[in-house]
């Protein structure tokens, strides 16, 4: 049996060039002598002998636009019919290619950073989307804080530092988390080593009888205009666990 696409004109690429199988109806403006196009003008297809589609990108795009609704309905029917197997294969691929996917996403973000920022800003500027995003983020953060101590502590540390900067009318020069100068895992163990016998992560908070993070040297006593002073204020050795009531009484001392 002939290989898939072998019967079509221009299936095999020679010397980095090939013809679009639409031949004279090809709408690609980059056609050279004899209707040949650079191989970059074709999308990839591993199932074909030369590894590329037979239609060039502009022709394929035009056909997809002309048949958009039909294609969408077909894809929807296929998904509904094969939902379970698609979900399983997607999860299996994601687990097997974690690093590859992460790198691809990072490359895309770095290449389209400004575009992504503008799109996100435009989306969030619409009031309906603002409310929707805020609701989603609050629900997500709440669930994540309940199950992920690392995430919870990062939020607490950032929030405390941001409030201090706001009170001092200073701009952030240092990341509150990076300013710890240690990993979050080390910070957790360090705080636990300073606990009194009754302390644990379940009784952390601002309720009577709970403990909270105390800055040994209060943030208000640092010159937060200085990046070096911000680093000192955020350093993990400036943290300790303290009965919340005693922390309130201590104030900015």
Q: Do the Cβ atoms of 21 and 54 come closer than 8 Å?
A: yes
More confident residue, 76 or 32: 76
State the Cα–Cα distance between residues 131 and 190, nearest whole angstrom: 39
pLDDT tens readout for residues 126-177: 777 778 888 888 999 999 999 999 999 999 999 999 998 988 888 888 999 9
State the Cα–Cα distance between residues 178 and 214, nearest whole angstrom: 18
First to last CA, the chain: 85
Residue that is written with structure tokens 């009318």 in the block: 169
Each domain of the chain, given as residue ranges in start order, spans 1-79, 97-142, 149-250
Instruction: Quickly state the pLDDT bin for 6 (edges 50, 70, 90).
Output: very low
pLDDT tens readout for residues 75-105: 999 999 999 999 999 999 999 999 999 999 9
Per DSSP, the three-state class of 97 is coil
State the Cα–Cα distance between residues 209 and 244, nearest whole angstrom: 7
Residue that is written with structure tokens 């589609």 in the block: 53
User: Strands 211-215 and 239-243: what pairing?
Assistant: antiparallel
């Amino acid at each position: 049996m002939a290989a898939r696409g072998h019967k079509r004109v221009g299936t095999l690429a020679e010397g980095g060039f090939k013809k679009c199988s639409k031949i004279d109806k090809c709408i690609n403006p980059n056609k050279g002598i004899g209707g040949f196009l650079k191989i970059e003008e074709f999308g990839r297809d591993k199932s074909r002998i030369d590894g590329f589609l037979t239609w060039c990108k502009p022709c394929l795009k035009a056909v997809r636009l002309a048949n958009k609704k039909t294609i969408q309905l077909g894809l929807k029917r296929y998904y509904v019919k094969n939902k379970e197997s698609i979900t399983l294969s997607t999860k299996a691929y994601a687990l097997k290619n974690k690093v590859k996917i992460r790198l691809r996403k990072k490359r895309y973000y770095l290449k389209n950073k400004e575009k992504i920022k503008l799109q996100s800003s435009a989306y969030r500027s619409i009031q309906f989307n603002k409310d929707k995003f805020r609701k989603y983020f609050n629900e997500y953060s709440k669930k994540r804080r309940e199950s992920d101590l690392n995430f919870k502590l990062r939020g607490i540390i950032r929030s405390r530092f941001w409030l201090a900067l706001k009170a001092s009318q200073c701009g952030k020069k240092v990341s509150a988390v990076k300013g710890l100068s240690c990993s979050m895992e080390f910070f957790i163990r360090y705080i636990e080593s300073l606990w009194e016998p009754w302390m644990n992560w379940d009784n952390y908070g601002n309720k009577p009888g709970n403990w909270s993070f105390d800055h040994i040297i209060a943030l208000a006593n640092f010159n937060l205009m200085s990046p070096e002073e911000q680093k000192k204020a955020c350093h993990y050795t400036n943290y300790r666990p303290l009965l919340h009531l005693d922390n309130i009484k201590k104030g900015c001392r």
